Every structure is written in C-alpha cells, then in structure tokens.
Amino acid sequence: MPEKRRSLIDQLAAAKQRISDLEQAELARVSSHVEISVTDNGIGIRNDFLPYIFNRFSQADASPTRAYGGLGLGLAITKSIVELHGGSIAAGYQMHVAKPVEPVELLIVVASLAGHKEV
C-alpha cells in the first residue's frame, strides 16, 4: 500500500482509538471502489461541532481538563491526505472518505454506534 494511503488509514485509526473502543473494522470491494468501514462505541460528535471537525487544532472539548488528549490535528491531516489524492471526506453520523485509487476508489466509512452525544 503506498505510504500516503497507509498514513491516511493510520490517522483515522489513531483518532478513533484515542477516544473509543474499536468495535469492528471491515474491508470490502464494492463495484469500482474499496470500502473500509470502522465502527466504534465512541462518544459521538456534537452536531454544532461538525462544521469544525476538519479544522486544524479543533477540539470538541477545548477545556484544559478534557478527557481526551491530542492537538486536534488528526482529522485535518487525514483530510489533507485524502484531498491530495483527489478524494473527499465528510462527517456526520457516519464519516465518509472517498478517494480515487488506480483502478478503484477508496471509500472509508467511520461509524459511531453512540451517534451524536453531548461531550
């Protein structure tokens, strides 16, 4: 797997692992693309935070006593890698990454079983 694609998957996995327990990960080829689906039982994403989730240094809980560490760079880096490869990423109840790959497209779906919860 080319290095940047591996980095993309590593970034998503690290972000999910830091704030939740991984429930399931699947890889499947569907028609002309590959789908990677990651499901967890994490804290979810507040609706009011969704517009900022891919901004650098963005944290849903920016307080100094927050439960989860990190700088808020993981999803910003992931988005940059996806876009460098001509793909796109969007977040909601599920997070979707569509990335063209020769000769298939890579689609990453990250779902939280917890849905939208207040953090």
Task: Give a yes or no: residue 118 inside a domain.
Answer: no
Task: Give a yes or no: residue 55 inside a domain.
Answer: yes
Q: Are 94 and 113 a contacting pair, CB within 8 Å?
A: no
pLDDT attached to residue 52? 84
For 4, residues 6+ apart whose C-beta sits below 8 A from its C-beta are 81, 84, 85
* Residue 94, domain CATH: 3.30.565.10
Task: Give a yes or no: residue 75 inside a domain.
Answer: yes
Q: What are phi and psi of 2, to 5 degrees?
A: -55, 150
Task: Give a yes or no: residue 119 inside a domain.
Answer: no
pLDDT attached to residue 72? 75
What tens digit of pLDDT does each residue of 61-105 get? 666 676 666 777 878 887 887 777 666 676 655 555 555 555 444
What tens digit of pLDDT does each residue of 8-29 get? 666 666 655 555 555 666 666 6
Cα of first residue to Cα of last residue in the chain, in angstroms, is 35
For 91, residues 6+ apart whose C-beta sits below 8 A from its C-beta are 45, 50, 53, 54, 75
Task: Give a yes or no: residue 117 inside a domain.
Answer: no
**CA 119 to CA 107: how far, in whole Å?**
27
Nearest to 44 by CA among 63, 60, 57, 64: 60
pLDDT attached to residue 51? 83
Domain count, the chain: 1
Strand order in the sheet with 22-30: 22-30, 33-40, 105-112, 94-100, 88-90
pLDDT at position 114 over 50: no
Q: Which domain holds residue 97?
A: 3-112
